[in-house]
Amino acid sequence: MDILYLIIFFILGCFLGGFYTVFGNRLATEEYHFLPYRCDNCGHLLSFLESIPIFSYLFLKRKCRHCHKKIDGMEPLMELFTGILFAVAFYSFGFSYEFLIAIGIVSLLIIVTVSDLNYLIIPDEVLVFFILYFIIIQFLDQGIVSVFFHILTGAFLFLLMYFVMWCGEKLLKKESLGGGDVKMMFLFGLVLDPLLGTLAIFLGSLFALPMSLFLLYKNHEKVIPFGPFLLIAFTFLYFTKITPDMIVSFLRIS
């Protein structure tokens, strides 16, 4: 039965991954029509068969059937990645409030990755929605006291990231972080505790460093979207179930 659920959530994740890709692209450009799916080049409305995750991309030979323009390869990758993470979320947490938080984190990861990579934008609408989503889940799971604690944690992480941004601007004499990255840290606090939230900033910077150096060397690119790397760290910490006690014990041993 667990295998059946894994397959179901993988398929659900693939379908939602395609929607999240469209959602992230169009919301970043303030296009508020997400369904039905259409070709971004010619406007051709996609049929159901043309909208099946991954398989439609392969079946259409990576081209729109109407205008024959190549389809962006990011979409099937996001569909596959979302499907895998949805299945992993169910495998790790089963039917629980933690599972609802996990798929919320995955959804946020995909939407922000698409919008930030393509447009260097983290839409406020996305952040507001997931802030409310995580507050509701925390309230249903652990009650109002937990919600209050996590709101304080979110405020702490927001101020911490704002301080990092301020220091970066003073040192570099230019914008070092986007406002969306700073605001997103409040959202992290609704799930993580202060220590893990701070660790997410460190890990996000660590994950971003190799890509930043590569792009700087290859394209002389100086503007790197930081949001996806923060969210990768966020996802990693939540899915691995690392606790503050584990971190403290590791530091003592070291």
- For 83-112, what is each residue's pLDDT tens digit? 999 999 999 999 999 999 999 999 999 999
Residue 144's pLDDT is 95
Stretch 123-150: mean pLDDT: 95
Q: Quote the CA–CA distance of 161 and 92 in Å, as a whole number.
A: 30
Contact (CB, 8 A) for 57 and 76: yes
Asked if pLDDT for residue 151 goes beyond 60, the answer is yes
Q: For residue 45, list its beta bridge partners.
A: 38
Residue 245's pLDDT is 83
Report which of 161, 93, 125, 96 is spatially closest to residue 23, judged by C-alpha positions: 125
Task: Centre a 10 Å sphere on the Cβ of residue 85 and count the other Cβ atoms it contains.
Answer: 23
pTM here is 0.88
Residue 43's pLDDT is 56
Contact (CB, 8 A) for 82 and 20: yes
